[in-house]
Amino acid sequence: MRVADKGSLLGMDRFGLDVLLPFEQRVDTVAELVRRGYTDRVVLAHDASCFIDWFDAEAKVQAVPKWNFRHISEDVLPALRERGVTEADIDMMLVANPRRYFE
């Protein structure tokens, strides 16, 4: 939060790489940041387009089955909504904050 307090965006990425941080903890962290008023400092990402050659394609599916382009819309957003994150919050994290950064 100190980083966000100084004006930086917090890239809440790696969604789908549950081997690094379990899904529930990652979603709980974002929901807590929203609850604490940091929605304007959070962006969501999955890094699913990154090239990875740690293991073959089938092993990747077995190890990280949710590391794909649909994970945020199909799994993350519903989980955030269940935790009280609003559509306005989601729009800010997915649209307004990245737009502000790139403008």
Cα 18 from Cα 79, distance rounded (Å): 15
Which of 38, 23, 36 lies closest to 77 in space, CA to CA? 23
Structure tokens at 78: 């519903």
User: What residue type is 84 in one-letter code?
Assistant: G
- Are 46 and 18 within 8 A, CB to CB? no
Q: Return per-residue pLDDT of the chain as tens, 103 residues.
A: 899 999 999 988 776 666 677 889 989 999 999 999 999 999 988 765 566 676 676 766 666 656 666 778 888 999 999 999 999 999 999 999 999 999 9
Output the pLDDT for position 88.
Answer: 98
CA angle 44, 66, 49 (to 5 degrees): 60
Give the domain ranges of the chain. 2-102
Tokens 């940041």 label which residue?
A: 33
Tokens 């379990």 label which residue?
A: 22
